Amino acid sequence: MKTFGAAFCLLIFFCFSYAVTQKPQTRALLGVALGKEVSDWLNEVENKLGEGVFAEFAELDPEDAGGDYTLGVSYITNKGVAVLRVDESFRESEKQTEAVIAHELLHLRLRARGYPLFLFSPTVKTKRGPAEDVEQSNVNDLVSMIEHKIFAGEMRRSGFDNLIDLTNGLEAARRMGSSEDGQAEMLNYARAALEWNSPKSLDELTKIHHANGWKRSLDGGRKIAGIIRASNINAPNDVAPVFLRCMFVLYGGNFRVEPDGRFALAKVYPQMIIYVKSPRRRSR
């Protein structure tokens, strides 16, 4: 009898300690129950940062944008708190909200795993002004595209691909007319080639580029898509070489990157500063 009693107590103790130390298998965010896989991503981000993720619905496009182009955004504050915002337009749909949460968690998980972001040095100038003012958004788009390739399989499983409105992309390209043939158009084409999963819509976009005379962005977009498609990124240090090869196509120039030693979140992930690579002097 005595032995039975001791075993019984032990059993209760184990059950109790399991209950207090294990987080629930699935989690909820913004009132939406997350699936097991997405809950795991949330747990990993929170465990690595040591803080809960802050999530909210917000209007992510400016009033004059004429539509909802931004589905979600995420970043880590200087204090190390992950912030995740989902566009207001998804408030009524739990499934779509979960897909956007999942997508942003995949970006945040890369930060928490030490994958870099890239920022122009104030020393890089363009004809239109400092690159950090006029070109940083293109660099951010490029990095996002590389990250989408890293977690492509998980992104597809989260249902995010179904939310991308291809007609929006085609309309925007049609509206721009023949004057533009720059970095943004090149990146849009690369994104379509990599992420649209619709040969018919890509064909449509190719026709718009031809009609607008956007040869540079068509050729460059194809090259950038090719570089990202062929990339095999398994660790944070694998990102910079792919990024620099794309930058060479995007701007037709050579760049180099160096980690920012004064970056507040350097212990979480590196912020790489982009410099123009000066040509090597020939040795005599």
Residues that bind Zn ion (CB under 5 A): 144
Identity at 129, one-letter amino acid code = G
The structure tokens listed for 94 are: 């739990």
d(CA 146, CA 25): 30
Nearer Cβ to Zn ion (144/168): 144
Nearer Cβ to Zn ion (126/144): 144
Nearer Cβ to Zn ion (17/140): 140
Supply the minimum distance, in Å, between the C-beta of residue 13 and Zn ion: 45
**Residues whose CB is less than 8 angstroms from the CB of residue 236 and which lie 6 or more positions away in sequence, other chains included:** 113, 114, 115, 116, 269, 270
Supply the minimum distance, in Å, between the C-beta of residue 144 and Zn ion: 5
The structure tokens listed for 14 are: 């184990």
Output the CA torsion 149→154→158→162 (10° steps): 30
Nearer Cβ to Zn ion (84/173): 84
**Residues whose CB is less than 8 angstroms from the CB of residue 89 and which lie 6 or more positions away in sequence, other chains included:** 68
Burial of 155 (0-12, 13-18, 19+ CB in 10 A): buried
Supply the minimum distance, in Å, between the C-beta of residue 146 and Zn ion: 10
Nearer Cβ to Zn ion (27/109): 109
- 167-194 burial string, b = 16+ CB within 10 Å, else e? eebbebbeebeeeebebbbbbbbbbbbb
Nearer Cβ to Zn ion (77/144): 144
**Residues whose CB is less than 8 angstroms from the CB of residue 35 and which lie 6 or more positions away in sequence, other chains included:** 26, 98
Supply the minimum distance, in Å, between the C-beta of residue 36 and Zn ion: 22
Supply the minimum distance, in Å, between the C-beta of residue 181 and Zn ion: 25
Element counts in the chain: helices (H) and strands (E): 11, 10
Supply the minimum distance, in Å, between the C-beta of residue 71 and Zn ion: 8
d(CA 246, CA 90): 33
d(CA 54, CA 157): 24
Supply the minimum distance, in Å, between the C-beta of residue 145 and Zn ion: 8
Nearer Cβ to Zn ion (143/249): 143
Nearer Cβ to Zn ion (68/219): 68
Identity at 231, one-letter amino acid code = S
The residue number with the shortest CB distance to Zn ion is: 144
Supply the minimum distance, in Å, between the C-beta of residue 207 and Zn ion: 27
The structure tokens listed for 245 are: 């090869």
